Amino acid sequence: MPGTAQWAVLHQQYFDELTVTAERAGDWGFVGALCIANNFVADADRQDPRFLAILDRALLVMRDDGVAFAAIPPYARRRWEEVHGTEGLSPAAWPSALAHLAVPPRGEVPVTSDLAEGESRRMAQPHEGSHSNVIYAERRSDGSVVAVIDGIDAADQKRKRWEWDGLDADDYSTFLRKLGDQLVTPSHWAHNDLVPYFPCRARSRNEMRIEASQLTQAGRKD
């Protein structure tokens, strides 16, 4: 039982064998060891130095191989930030999965075709397939532009249209900027008018690997 001398011996043996097996498998073996330990180690034992050694090695492997930080469990994120710190709202020394893009400065609006009163224009489709939501820009009678979602209602599985609460603007160019900010990265399909207003794009895993390698080299120099 936990708390007994026999349990302590078993616990020691468990971590020792897990570490040896991970070493034989190579770097990603530590990620596998972490997944196994995550299922069998109680929260109270996650500060055990042997568990932390597996966790630290697994985190470095994932960072170096271009895994996005958002994909790791919250307790692992906390451990990384305890060891490496943060930069603003982001973890330090872990490449961001997003690369920033230059959106048109205010006042320098690309040429677009404005919406007519009552017009509904397809703007974005986040995912491929007939079940994906589709986002429209619609001009209301008061001149404002609102976002309307055409998608499957989770309550009855029927396709419906509803307004995206809070996503409206007095003019089309301001609407494009607000919609781009909300979607963040280019979707599966996007209208040409909207494309310049995405503030970020998803970086490839290889791009993240390259940056991680540079961070590692910089750390060695320090």
Closest listed residue to residue 126, CA positions, set 146, 103, 152, 101: 152
Strand order in the sheet with 189-190: 159-169, 145-152, 134-139, 120-125, 189-190
Q: Is residue 14 part of a domain?
A: yes
Mean pLDDT of 35-59: 87
CB < 8 Å & 24+ apart, contacts of 18-24? 18/54, 19/50, 19/53, 19/54, 22/54, 22/57
User: Mind listing the pLDDT tens digit for each residue in 87-108?
Assistant: 987 899 999 999 999 999 988 8
Q: Are 87 and 158 in the same domain?
A: no
Phi and psi at residue 72, to the nearest 5°: -95, 155
Look over the chain and give the mean of its residue pLDDT values, rounded to a whole number: 91
Q: Is residue 114 part of a domain?
A: no
Q: Is residue 16 part of a domain?
A: yes
**What is the C-alpha to C-alpha distance for residues 151 and 133, in angstroms, rounded to an integer?**
4
| Res. 43: pLDDT tops 80 | no
Mean pLDDT of 158-169: 94
Q: Are 12 and 59 in the same domain?
A: yes
The token pair that represents 183 in the structure block: 């979607």
Closest listed residue to residue 123, CA positions, set 151, 147, 105, 90: 147
Q: Are 29 and 74 in the same domain?
A: yes
Q: Are 132 and 59 in the same domain?
A: no
Residue 59 confidence (pLDDT) = 97
Residue 149 confidence (pLDDT) = 96
Q: Are 13 and 90 in the same domain?
A: yes
Is the pLDDT higher at 44 or at 110? 110
Q: Are 91 and 43 in the same domain?
A: yes
Q: Are 54 and 72 in the same domain?
A: yes
**What is the C-alpha to C-alpha distance for residues 169 and 140, in angstroms, rounded to an integer?**
11
Residue 39 confidence (pLDDT) = 83
Q: Are 49 and 18 in the same domain?
A: yes
Q: Is residue 78 part of a domain?
A: yes
Strand, coil or helix: what is 49?
Answer: helix
Total-model pTM: 0.71
Q: Are 212 and 137 in the same domain?
A: no
**What is the C-alpha to C-alpha distance for residues 166 and 177, in angstroms, rounded to an integer?**
14
Cα angle value 217/95/201 (rounded, 5°): 140
Q: Is residue 111 part of a domain?
A: no
Strand, coil or helix: what is 127?
Answer: coil
Q: Is residue 157 part of a domain?
A: yes
Q: Are 145 and 186 in the same domain?
A: yes
Contact yes or no for 79/55 (Cβ under 8 A): yes
Q: Are 9 and 76 in the same domain?
A: yes
| Residue the block writes with tokens 């310049």 | 196
Mean pLDDT of 138-165: 93
Q: Is residue 125 part of a domain?
A: yes
Domain residues for 79?
A: 5-97+205-221
| Res. 219: pLDDT tops 80 | no
Contact yes or no for 212/66 (Cβ under 8 A): yes
Domains held by the chain: number: 2
Contact yes or no for 176/54 (Cβ under 8 A): no
Q: Are 191 and 139 in the same domain?
A: yes
Contacts of 100 (CB under 8 A, 6+ apart): 199, 200
Q: Is residue 167 part of a domain?
A: yes
